[in-house]
Amino acid sequence: MFEQVEALRDEHRRVEKELSDPEVHADAARAKRVNRRYAELSRIVKAHDDWIAAGEDLETAREFAREDESIAAEIPGMEDHLQQAQERLRRLLIPRDPDDARDVIMEIKAGEGGAESALFAADLLRMYVQYAASKGWKTELLERTESDLGGYKDVQVAIKGSSTDPSQGVWAHLKYEGGVHRVQRVPATESQGRIHTSTTGVLVFPEVDEPDEIAINQNDLKIDVFRSSGPGGQSVNTTDSAVRITHVPSGIVVSMQNEKSQLQNREAAMRVLRARLLAKQQEELDAAASDARRSQIRGMDRSERIRTYNFPENRIADHRTGFKAYNLDQVMDGALEPIIESAIHADEEARLAALGSED
């Protein structure tokens, strides 16, 4: 059992030695990759050590139990501990999403429901910002288009983590949030107290670590500058600071006008463009892979309704995993961890099933 662990332990030793090489740390991008791999392998090595130790302890206890009944009484608990150690190691050996350690760019867009949908987009943004704060992540508002009542027709936010461990990465947690979020509540615009149903879309893209990671030919870009509109101050609205970049081969268009500087808007637009190109590249790889190897939880269909937020019942329900709870007020304050953990667990189960079918 777990024959592949020995090869991973050998790799762990090689990577550990590589981390002591000053040349590795002279290249920031390479150092980041090596540190991430070391963190991932370290978790596997520790879990393997724990499994071996649990097995040895159980074997020793069984030997002494022949002469000591008090030790025999401890064996069932030790057997459970061995099973838990084995299950933990088994899950760590599931091939990870290679993007798990990446930061993300999230876009929240108003959908059906008009002004109420835009208001809920603002609520979702606050929820994700609060969740990010609870994880020790940093957030940066890249672009926003405000609605008349103070919500957002469209808002983009970058979320950045600090852990080198892929399992603690921002993408590892937030990749499951993409899709249609449905809200049921009495809108602020409703005078008769009737419950309305609205939808808001969420897109999540893994952010590119280094600009040269995604090759972009400058001749493939059509760049337009124009005068910003909406809030932002006199200098924003009277200068050609807004930027729209069209990547001609893919048809992806990114517009930015949040900053006063044309250069800042261009840099922000390029960040989003790289993230979208990386996501498109991954979609193409997923499409080429067999269905059995693709995640059953994080589909690429952005029209999928993934969750319902029912305010009158204080209920949150995830339609992919079956998760349901009656603490919506806490969830909207950023208590997303149980919902996300349910998605991670369901994804792992799907991957284990796929591995089993391959065997």
On the question of pLDDT at 162 being above 50, the answer is yes
pLDDT at 113: 87
* Lowest mean pLDDT across 230-244, 249-263, 273-287: 230-244
| Residues with Cβ within 8 Å of residue 240, at least 6 apart in sequence | 225, 226, 227, 262
> Is residue 98, in this structure, part of any structural domain at all?
no
On the question of pLDDT at 235 being above 70, the answer is no
> Is residue 57, in this structure, part of any structural domain at all?
yes
Same domain, 123 and 201: yes
Write out the residue range of the structural domain in which residue 54 sits: 1-93
On the question of pLDDT at 153 being above 50, the answer is yes
Q: What is the mean pLDDT of residues 335-345?
A: 95
Split at pLDDT 50, 70, 90, the class of 233 is: very low
Are 318 and 307 in contact, with CB atoms under 8 Å apart? Answer: yes
Same domain, 304 and 206: yes
Task: Report how far apart, in Å, the C-alpha atoms of 265 and of each of 139, 163, 232, 257 are.
Answer: 17, 28, 13, 6
| Residues with Cβ within 8 Å of residue 77, at least 6 apart in sequence | none
To which H or E segment does residue 348 belong? helix 337-358
On the question of pLDDT at 330 being above 80, the answer is yes
pLDDT at 351: 83
Q: What's the residue count for the chain?
A: 359
Give me the residue label for tokens 């069984």. 62
- One-letter-per-residue 3-state SS of 243-266: EEEEECCCCEEEEECCCCCHHHHH
Nearest to 150 by CA among 122, 181, 191, 183: 122
Q: What is the mean pLDDT of residues 285-296?
A: 53
The CATH number of the domain holding residue 267 is 3.30.160.20
Same domain, 129 and 277: no
What is the rounded average pLDDT for all residues in the chain?
A: 88
Q: Dump pLDDT digits (tens) for 9-48.
A: 999 999 999 999 999 999 888 898 899 999 999 999 999 9
Distance CA 323, CA 328 (A): 12
* DSSP 8-state class, residue 27: S
pLDDT at 227: 81
Same domain, 273 and 344: no
How crowded is residue 76: how many other Cβ atoms within 10 Å of its Cβ? 9
> Is residue 215, in this structure, part of any structural domain at all?
no
Distance CA 244, CA 82 (A): 57
Same domain, 39 and 172: no
Using CA atoms of 75, 80, 84, 90 in order, give the dihedral in degrees to the nearest 10: 90
Same domain, 64 and 132: no
Same domain, 62 and 161: no
pTM of the model: 0.84
User: Residue 251, by phi and psi: left (phi above 0), alpha (psi -120 to 50) or beta?
Assistant: left
Structural domains of the chain, count: 3
> Is residue 202, in this structure, part of any structural domain at all?
yes
